[in-house]
Homo-oligomer: A and B are copies of this chain.
Amino acid sequence: MSSPARHGSNQPLAAELRELRLEIEEFNTEYARVLDEGDLETWPDFFTDDGLYRITSRENAVDDLPIGLIYCDGRGMLIDRVRAILKTTTHEPRYLRHFNSNVRVAGIGDGRVSSNSNYLVVETLMEGGTDIFQSGRYEDTFVRVDGSLRLSARHCIYDTLLITNALIYPV
């Protein structure tokens, strides 16, 4: 139950942390909507130009291994990935839906906000019911660009060890 750390001198005000928490929730809502609606071309806009995006397992994260299922360093790589997905999607069609919760502001300082939250993604195949696709947590670093939050890093650290091939989609 430690307090969030400020990387500078002063403790962040409770009101500042609350405000950031609510703002990150709204960011995640927009982010999830874009992915749930399959609007992949908009997805890179949530990142800064040098934004990092990684999907990796909880085991790799614990061991601090950089490898992962997806690793994109910079918006160019994000855009490339979207193009690759849109060209090569041959797997079974499915619906995804994100449930974001438990946003926690972990630290503020140097124009950066570090935060984590939980995500649950459920999937529906065309002939079946709805099942859990992946649960995990986001470990994020946000910066402010033109007044709005952008991801300078999003690490998606998943619990789920048995991943279907649909993981070529971002979460």
Contact = CB atoms under 8 A, between A and B. Distances in A.
A160 to B, nearest CB: 4
A95 B58 contact: yes
Given A22-B18, A159-B124, A1 B98 contact: no
Given A99-B118, A124-B161, A127-B161, 10 more contacts: A1-B30, A26-B104, A29-B103, A30-B104, A97-B120, A99-B99, A122-B159, A127-B162, A129-B132, A129-B161
Copies in the complex: 3
Interface in A37-92: 42, 45-46, 58
Nearest to A147: B14
Interface of A: 1, 18, 21-22, 26, 28-30, 32-34, 36, 42, 45-46, 58, 95, 97-104, 116, 118, 120, 122, 124, 126-132, 134-137, 148, 159-162
